[in-house]
A and B are shown apart, each in its own frame.
Chain A
Amino acid sequence: MKIIVLVKHVPDAQFDRHLTGEGYTTDRDESILSELDEYALEAALQLAEARGGSKAGNQVIALSMGPSGAVNAIKKALQIGATEGVHLTDGALAGSDAAATSLALAAAIRHLGSDAPVDLVLTGMASTDGETSLVPAQLAERLDMPQVTFASSLEVDGGRLTARRDADTSSETVEAPLPAVVSVTDQINEPRYPNFKGIIAAKRKSITTLSLADIGVDPAQVGHAGSWTSVLSAEERPPRTAGTIITDEGDAGIKLVDFLAAQKLL
C-alpha cells in the first residue's frame, strides 16, 4: 500500500501559546508533531505491517506543510516508523487558512501520486492548534475521494475500507472504495513511541522538500493573500485565576452548596 500520513507541526499545548505571528498566526517556537496525528501514523504503520511492511513495498509517507521547523515533525514521524518524509515549504504559504492549506496539500498529494497511485490519505481528527477539522473534509472534496472522518476503527480489504464512527446519537459503520481520505480519532489505537532502533534508522530515511513550483500551485492562491478568511483582531483572555480553595473538615458539601447559592446557580 502507498499511504500518505498528514502530520502537522504545532505549538506545544503544555506551554502558553501565543498569536504573535504575522496576521495573528501562532508563534511556533516550542513546536511538536501534533499529538493527534500520531494516531493517524500508527494506523498507517499497522496497515503497512499487516501487509509485510516496507520490505514488501508498503510505503508510509509523512507529509507536512509548514515553515523550516516543520521538518522536526517529519523527523519524529520517521523515527516512529514512516518510510519517507515530504516537507512542503514555501514562503508564500505563510498564513494559509484551511481552504488554502487543503489546496496546497491536495496538490502535493496529487504530485506524490504521479508515479504510483496513492491508496490512502490518513490525517488526525483535528490539529491541536487550529482545531477546526476542516482540512480532511476539504481535502476529500478537492481530491474527489470518499471522506471517512473521525474513524475509531479502520480495516482495509482489497480495494475497500470499512470504518466505525461514533456520533452522539448513533454509531455508524461506513464503507468506501480506495483511494480515500480518512481522519482518525484518539480511540483508534495506542500510538507507539520511537525506540532506539527507530531513531537510528530514521537518519537514513529520505526527506524530500517540495516548493509551490514543484507541485504547480500559484503562490497567489495560498498564504495570507490567497486565504478566504482572515483574522482581524485577537485579544488574549486573562488567564483564569484560582479562587477560594478550602480543605474539607466534614462540611465541605454544605459549603459547596452555600457557594452555589451565593452565585445564584441553584
Chain B
Amino acid sequence: MAKVLVFIDNPGTSLKKSSLELLTLGRALGETAVALNGKLHDDVAAAFAEYGIGTVLLPSAEDLDDFLVAPKAAYLAAAAGQAGANIVLLDNSPEGKEIAARAGIRLNAGVITDVVAVDADGTAHKSVLAGSYNTACKAGTPVSVLTVKANNVVPVPAAAPAALETVTVDVPAVSAAARITAREQKVASGRPDLTDARIVVAGGRGLDGDFGPVEELADALGAAVGASRAATDAGWISHDAQVGQTGKTVSPQLYISAGISGAIQQKAGMQTAKVIVAVNKDAESPVFEIADFGIVGDLFDVLPQATAEIKKRKG
C-alpha cells in the first residue's frame, strides 16, 4: 500500500474543492497524510478528519510565505522524508508545479505535471501538445511527485473520520531564495474561478473594448469570464482572464468564444473543452474548425439575445 502525502498551501479557514479532490485521490492510492503550510484552522482540521486524514505535518518555520518557492519545496521534501511518502500530490497551479519541481530534485523523485488521473500502481495520465495526445507516464524512482489538475476527482469524505494528530517538520535552511517584498491583493470578481469553472464565456478583440455582452451572458449561465490575449493586452480585462498558451488552460463542459479568431495559442488553452460554441462575424475564422456549434454573426446581436432568452427560460 502506498504512503501518500498531500501538500496544501495556506488554506485559510476552509479547504478549496481542489484540495478535497487531492485528499480523495490520495485515499484511493494509500494511507494519506497532509503537509500543510500556514495556520491549521479548526474548520480545516475538521475537514481533514472527515476526509480520513490522521496526520497533518506542519513546518517549524512560519516565514515560508516571505520567499519564492525554495523554502516551501525544502519543507515539502523534508515532510515527505519524515512521512515515508512514496507519492506526493500537489495542485497544478504554477506555484504547485514549481514546488513539485524542486522537491523532486531534493527527493530524487520523478515529477509529473498536469495529471488528470492516477492508477493504483502510480501511473499518471495527462494530455500533452495542447491536448493532441493522451499519455500514460510513470516515475521510475521510489518517490513520485504529481501535480493534479482540478475537476478530475469527485470529493468524497472517508467512510469513517480519523483522529487528527499534528507533527512538526524541521524546515532545512535555504541559503538562496528570492524574497517577496510587497504583495498587492487583487479584488475577487465574485464569478467562478476560471480554471475550474463548468462554463466559460470568453471574449476577444471583436468586443472592441466592451466586455458587457460577455459578462452578462456569463452571469446568466453562472460562468467564468475568459479572454484572448488581444483583449487582455488592450487592457479591456485583467491578464488573469487570459486563456491560452501563456494564460490559463481550461477544460470546462462548455466554452463560448465570442469575437475570438482562434489562433493556435488561444486554442492551446481551450480545445479540450467538452463543448465549444463560437460566435464570430467572419465565417473563415479558424475557431469554426473546432466549434461544435458556430454562429456567423455579430456578437453584439447574438450574445444579448441569448442572454435574454436564458433569463426568460430560467424564469
Enumerate chain A interface residues (CB-CB to B < 8 A).
Answer: 13-14, 16-17, 19, 24, 26, 36, 97-99, 102, 125, 128-135, 137-138, 140-142, 144-150, 162-163, 166-176, 180, 185-187, 227-237, 239-240, 242-248, 250-257, 259-261, 263, 265-266
Binary interface encoding of chain B residues 67-94 relative to chain A, with 1 for a CB under 8 A from any of its CBs, else 0: 0111001000000000000000000011
B182 and chain A: residue at smallest CB distance = A173
A229 and chain B: residue at smallest CB distance = B110
A234 touches B105 (CB 8 A): no
A236 touches B132 (CB 8 A): yes
A133 touches B94 (CB 8 A): yes
B272 and chain A: residue at smallest CB distance = A237
User: A186: shortest Cβ distance to chain B, in Å?
Assistant: 5
A147: which of B70, B276, B295, B304 is its contact (CB, 8 Å)? B70
Task: Jot down 24 A-B pairs with beta carbons below 8 A, ordered by A.
Answer: A26-B129, A131-B130, A134-B111, A138-B102, A145-B176, A146-B178, A147-B68, A170-B186, A173-B181, A173-B183, A180-B178, A228-B109, A228-B139, A230-B140, A233-B136, A240-B271, A243-B294, A244-B293, A245-B283, A248-B297, A253-B301, A253-B302, A256-B279, A257-B309
The interface-forming segment of B26-34, B163-171, B203-211, B239-247 is B239-247
User: A46: shortest Cβ distance to chain B, in Å?
Assistant: 19
Instruction: Give Cα A153 to B301, complex, Å.
Output: 39
Given contact pairs A13-B130, A98-B111, A252 touches B295 in the complex (Cβ within 8 A): yes
Instruction: Give Cα A7 to B187, complex, Å.
Output: 36
Secondary structure of the B contact surface, majority rule: mixed
User: B293: shortest Cβ distance to chain A, in Å?
Assistant: 5
Binary interface encoding of chain B residues 276-308 relative to chain A, with 1 for a CB under 8 A from any of its CBs, else 0: 110100010000111111111110011111111
B68 touches A174 (CB 8 A): yes
Q: Does B172 sit at the interface, judged by CB under 8 A?
A: no
User: B174: shortest Cβ distance to chain A, in Å?
Assistant: 9
User: A226: shortest Cβ distance to chain B, in Å?
Assistant: 10
Instruction: Give Cα A220 to B290, complex, Å.
Output: 44
Specify which chain A residues have a CB less than 8 angstroms from the CB of B182 in the assembled complex.
172-173
B104: which of A99, A149, A247 is its contact (CB, 8 Å)? A99
Q: Does B131 sit at the interface, judged by CB under 8 A?
A: yes
Which residues, 149 to 199 on B, are CB-close (under 8 Å) to A?
175-186, 188, 199
B302 touches A147 (CB 8 A): no
B293 touches A138 (CB 8 A): no
Beyond known contacts A36-B246, A99-B104, A245-B288: 6 more, CB 8 A cutoff: A19-B128, A133-B98, A141-B73, A144-B176, A168-B93, A237-B127
B278 and chain A: residue at smallest CB distance = A245
Q: Does B253 sit at the interface, judged by CB under 8 A?
A: yes
Q: Does B275 sit at the interface, judged by CB under 8 A?
A: yes
Q: Does B138 sit at the interface, judged by CB under 8 A?
A: yes
State the total of A-B contacts with C-beta under 8 angstroms: 269
B275 touches A175 (CB 8 A): no
A242 touches B294 (CB 8 A): yes
B97 touches A147 (CB 8 A): no
User: B40: shortest Cβ distance to chain A, in Å?
Assistant: 20
User: B308: shortest Cβ distance to chain A, in Å?
Assistant: 7
A129 touches B129 (CB 8 A): yes
A134: which of B101, B135, B297 is its contact (CB, 8 Å)? B101
User: B173: shortest Cβ distance to chain A, in Å?
Assistant: 12
User: B30: shortest Cβ distance to chain A, in Å?
Assistant: 20
Given contact pairs A141-B70, A145-B176, A234-B135, A240 touches B289 in the complex (Cβ within 8 A): yes
A170: which of B104, B184, B254 is its contact (CB, 8 Å)? B184
Q: Does B261 sit at the interface, judged by CB under 8 A?
A: no
Specify which chain A residues have a CB less than 8 angstroms from the CB of B289 in the assembled complex.
240, 242
A246 touches B178 (CB 8 A): no
User: A96: shortest Cβ distance to chain B, in Å?
Assistant: 12
A162 and chain B: residue at smallest CB distance = B181
User: B132: shortest Cβ distance to chain A, in Å?
Assistant: 6
Specify which chain B residues have a CB less than 8 angstroms from the CB of A97 in the assembled complex.
110
B186 touches A232 (CB 8 A): no
B111 touches A99 (CB 8 A): yes
A253 touches B305 (CB 8 A): yes
B105 touches A141 (CB 8 A): yes
B140 touches A228 (CB 8 A): yes
A245 touches B296 (CB 8 A): yes
A144 and chain B: residue at smallest CB distance = B176
Q: Does B310 sit at the interface, judged by CB under 8 A?
A: yes
Q: Does B60 sit at the interface, judged by CB under 8 A?
A: no
Specify which chain B residues have a CB less than 8 angstroms from the CB of A246 in the assembled complex.
293-296
A235 and chain B: residue at smallest CB distance = B134
A149: which of B69, B136, B304, B309 is its contact (CB, 8 Å)? B69
Q: Does B264 sit at the interface, judged by CB under 8 A?
A: yes
Binary interface encoding of chain B residues 93-136 relative to chain A, with 1 for a CB under 8 A from any of its CBs, else 0: 11101101110111011111110000000010001111111111
Specify which chain A residues have a CB less than 8 angstroms from the CB of B297 in the assembled complex.
247-248, 252
B106 and chain A: residue at smallest CB distance = A141
A174: which of B113, B132, B181 is its contact (CB, 8 Å)? B181
User: B88: shortest Cβ distance to chain A, in Å?
Assistant: 13
B138 touches A232 (CB 8 A): yes
A245 touches B291 (CB 8 A): yes
B304 touches A253 (CB 8 A): yes
Instruction: Give Cα A149 to B178, complex, Å.
Output: 10
A231 touches B135 (CB 8 A): yes
Please provide the 10 A-B residue pairs with the shortest distance between their CB atoms, ordered closest to farther: A253-B305, A248-B297, A228-B110, A176-B178, A229-B110, A137-B101, A243-B292, A253-B306, A245-B294, A173-B182
